[in-house]
Each structure stands twice: as structure tokens, then as C-alpha cells.
Structure 1
Amino acid sequence: MNEDSNANAAVATGELDERCRAYETVARAIRFVRQHRPYQPGLQEIAEHVGVSPFHLQRTFSVWAGISPKRFLQYLTSAHARSLLRAQNDVLATAYATGLSGPGRLHDLLVACDAVTPGEVRSLGEGLRITYGFAATPFGRVIAGNTPRGLCHLQFTASDQGTDAIALLQSEWPHASLQRDDEALSETIGRVFSVVEGQRPLHLLLRGTNFQIKVWEALINIAPGNVVSYRTLATLIDHPRAQRAVGSALARNRLAVLIPCHRVIRENGDIGNYRWGSERKHALLAVEAEQSRNRWRSSGASPAAAE
């Protein structure tokens, strides 16, 4: 590797580290705002807690979360108010779904799903070549794995050298051949988190039981800005009593964001847990809610008008 290549690699590594430090700052801010929501903390107080200036926090939060700290606090406050209303009226999906289900899917990105064949499941990936790579995203680092048939793996991870993350990918496809190529995966990962419309479909390769794949496909059809309960999701797949099985299917999700298990909350309106961190779940839901509102504004309509 020549000196120019070394220099470019060093710059790229530095930029990646800076982006991930920025996400950690945003994650700490989200955690603080969640914990102190009843007291409505201001920008100055939040910035002091995470150890940066108000200007730096405002800029970093807005770039990475897509909304300002104030807007995020408003989202939490309104979500809490709606949860109280739902608890009193025993209605979960209506308050979130009304007027928000029309304008597109996740970043207007079409997702085509292919299920792994029984033979491929039995072979555990024998003869399959998986190209994988790490990249920084607005919600933290991810590792992605791609096959000739589609994306088979997308998980948030703490490090771009994470041996645990690589080991998890290998454990899912024990006999597959893995090859790291961050550059080859950068375009695919970028598309997952892009807001550009009109892109070609992104193909997914799903490995699971028929029931699990049915749950995942139902999730993909939940529009950004909406949430559902485990019971509602079970009803959507015509298994209204299979709430526990639905939860197990979500736990087996290997494709973060694209199979949006972050949109599933508890029946009482509580946001619940998320395998990649509740702060990240809050951020994903807040950004999607804001994007839904922006789509309505650009179309000349409004959620309230659609009700």
C-alpha cells in the first residue's frame, strides 16, 4: 500500500471514529432527555450533561437524529400523552396509525424478500459466499452481510473490528465463506439509511421458519411513523393468540431497520425493549415520525386533515 493509500485510509478511519463519537453524544443526550422528560430539560441543561456546548449539541443532534433536541423532547412528550389516552380508551394502534399510513414506506425504499430454501437451511450456507463490511450510520456502526441473492445480515455493533459481530454472522451461516469488503458494502448500507426517493429495490435474503418470515413481512408493511403492539402484529398475520411466538420471531430478526422491529411496542403504550438499545429505538421512531410529517407537509396535506 503506497503513502497516498495509507493517508486516505487514515483519513477514512478518523472520519468514521468522529461520526461514531458523534452518535455516542447523541445517544447520551437521548438517554438524558428520556429520563428527565417530565421536567422538560432545556438545550443548555442537556448539553451540560453530555459535556458539549449547546451549539455543538444542536448541530450534532440535528445532523444525526434528523431533528433538534427540542423536537425530540416534544416527540417523547406527545408519545407519552397518547399512551395515556390509549390506556384510558383501550385503543393502541388507532392513535398512531390514523392519518400516517399513506405516504410511502421506509425512505420510499422498496424491499423485496426471498426466503432461504429448506436445502440451504440444512446446508448452513455451504457453498455460499457472504461479503460483509462495517460502516458508520446516523444511528451508530453496523455490520452488513450480502449474498448474490440479497442482504442477509444487518446488525448494529460497537466496533468496526468487532470479532463478536463477525462471529455472530459466521454462526448464522457456519459453512459459508466470509470475505470482508467495507467499500463493497458502503453503497448498500448507505441506501438503507438514505432519504433519497426512487431508488431500485433492495433485496433481502431471509432465513427463518414460515411463521417467522410471515411476521417479518408483516412488519415491513408497517409504515414509518406508525407503531403496533405484539397483539396487533399477531392479528395482522391471522394468529391473534400467538403474541409470544411473534416476540420470538422479532428476537430472531437479523436485519435491523429494514425489518423494523423497533416499531413494535407494548400493549400499554410503553416503548419496551430493543435488542440494539432503547435509546436507538427512540431515535428511530422519532426520526420516522418527523419524516412522515414532512411528507404530509410537502404533499400539501397534514395528518390532522387526513383524520
Structure 2
Amino acid sequence: MTGTNNHRGRVTDYERIERAIRYLEENYRQQPDLKALARGAGLSEFHFQRLFRRWAGISPKRFLQYLTAGHAVRLLRDSRTNIEAAYDAGLSGGGRLHDLIVNLHAATPGEYKRAGANLTIQYGFHASPFGECLIAVTARGVCHLGFVSPADRRAALAELAAEWPRARIEEAPRATAQVARRLFARVNGGSPGVDLLVRGTNFQIKVWEALLRIPPGAVVSYEDLAQRARIPRATRAVANAVAHNPVAWLIPCHRVIRKSGALGGYRWGETRKQALLAWEAARAGDIKS
């Protein structure tokens, strides 16, 4: 498995937004104004406001409202109704993600035991609306997507190798760039879908399939997810399966929060989880700018 040089250079839009989100989270009780946020991001007020709206689809002031626990609780309550409506509309076979149909394919029991033997995995690091990510693909679909900071590329590759310990893993950024463009572009009209190949236990697969049925802009509690996966007494085990999801964003584990309204943990950072949820909520019409 070959490595790559760490990404260096200019601060990305997401890094500026992440810094602003962290500042908002830590200081929302003081209701920081636009001037303070822009200064923290190293931009003028005009450029920061424009950047934030371009990225999130809402103003920083509206985003501040999203960071309150009260809003999260309301979103959790309202999502129950929205998800039931989606199921009634015939969407129970899979979740839609900005015009992408996500098709999950589990490794067979034999493939699971072989841990990737005779399988070639190509990987690359690419920009996304939520920071740099590692994308890994096989001939049968995407098998890994994880967000990384430039300093953590080596650790990200180690995670991929641990998921498929006997696979041949090779760097192929040109091949994975095509996948990245497809995943993170806003697609107009229909899409043939995105195939995922995941390696997990039967229990984990059941939980990941339930995650796919949570529509963008909605959230569920861990208890609700356990109910939807038809394993209502296994909430703790469900939470563990959520934490081990190998495909960020496409299998939307970020849409699971605690029933109190607290975000709970996230494999790729709670600040990124906030960003993902607010970004989706804005596009789903939950928050009006």
C-alpha cells in the first residue's frame, strides 16, 4: 500500500467554516456577531457572510439557531413524522441523497471471512464540501469513505487496511477522482445510483440498512433507529454499529443523535457532524434563510 504526501497550502472553505462552527458552538450563549465570526475566520465580514451562505445555504445567524439543543429536539420530533411520510411514499427501499440512490451490497459470509483476499481496492484523497476525504473503491462499488485532516492521512489508510486486511490496496487518485466528482456534485435529474460494498456482521449490515432509510434533513435517536432496525432492545449495540460505519455521509450515521437533542459522538468529529446536519437541513428546507 503506497502513501501520499500530506496536503498543505491554503486554508480550504470547509476549514474556515469548521473554525466558525466551533466558535459558534463554544460561544453561542454570548450571541457572537458577524464581525467576531469573520475575524476568527480571517476574512472580511462581507466575504465571510458570502462564504457561509455559499457553503451552508443559510446565514451564520440562522445557523446559530440550529446549534441550540432546543432546535435539535424539535428536529428529532418533527423527523419522526417526516420519516413515516417517506416510508408511506414508498422510499423504504433506500434513502435518497441529493438525487443519488445508494445501493448497499454486503460482502458474502465467505468474503467476510476472507477479509478482502483476492480483492483490489483503489484509493485517493479528495476535497469535499466537508473537508478532505479518503475514498476507496472496488469493482463492485465504494467500500470506504472517511473524512480526514491532512495530518491524519496515514491513520486513515490504516483504518482502511484494518477493514480489509487481506485486500490489495493501491493508490489510484485518478480513478477515485471520478467517484468523488459524482458523489459531491449536485446532480440534476435522475442518477443510476451509487453502489457500496461493505464488510460487516449481519447485525451491522441491518443497522447500516436502517440508516439508509433516514432522509436528508431528518434525524433519529439511537432508540428510534433500534426500533426501525427491528432490534428495539439492542440500543447500545446499535450505537456501536453506527460508530463503525465505514462509509461516511452515504451511509448517514451523522443523522443519529441522542434523544435529549445532544449530538452524541461521531467518528469523524462532532463539529463535522454539526456541519453535515445543518447543511442537509438547509437544503431540505428545515431552516429558512
AA partner of residue 278 (structure 1): E
1:111-170 Cα distance to aligned partner (Å, 9 max, x none)? 111110111122111111111111011100000110011100000111288222222212
- TM-aligned CA deviation for residue 81 of structure 1: 4.2
1:59 match: 50
CA contact (8 A) 1:230 1:267 kept: yes
- TM-aligned CA deviation for residue 211 of structure 1: 1.0
Alignment of 1:223-238 (within 5 A): 223-238=215-230
Q: What number of residue pairs does the alignment pair up? A: 274
Higher relative contact order (CA 8 A, sep 6+): 2
- TM-aligned CA deviation for residue 253 of structure 1: 0.6
Distance 1:116 1:82, change over 3 A: closer
- Higher fraction of helix: 1
SS in 1 for 2:127: strand
- Please give the alpha-carbon distance, in whole angstroms, between the structure 1 residues aligned to 2:82 and 2:223: 21
1:37-90 Cα distance to aligned partner (Å, 9 max, x none)? 22322211111223321122123223333433223123334x62452xx6xxxx
- TM-aligned CA deviation for residue 225 of structure 1: 0.8
CA contact (8 A) 2:56 2:282 kept: no
CA contact (8 A) 2:243 2:266 kept: no
Q: State percent identity of aligned pairs.
A: 49
CA contact (8 A) 1:127 1:176 kept: yes
- TM-aligned CA deviation for residue 194 of structure 1: 2.5
Q: CA RMSD in A?
A: 2.5
Structure possessing the higher radius of gyration over alpha carbons = 1
1:95 match: 78
2:201 match: 209
SS in 1 for 2:146: strand
- Please give the alpha-carbon distance, in whole angstroms, between the structure 2 residues aligned to 1:127 and 1:234: 35
1:23 match: 14
**Match status 1:137 vs 2:99:** no
**Match status 1:34 vs 2:25:** yes
- Please give the alpha-carbon distance, in whole angstroms, between the structure 1 residues aligned to 2:265 and 2:158: 24
CA contact (8 A) 1:82 1:95 kept: no
Structure 1 gap ranges (5+): 1-12, 87-91, 298-307
**Match status 1:118 vs 2:109:** yes
Choose the corresponding residue for 2:265, options 260, 273, 295.
273
Query: What TM-score, normalized to structure 1?
Result: 0.82
SS in 1 for 2:237: helix
1:240-286 Cα distance to aligned partner (Å, 9 max, x none)? 11001101101211100011111000111111221111111111111
2:65 match: 74
AA partner of residue 147 (structure 2): F
CA contact (8 A) 1:93 1:232 kept: no
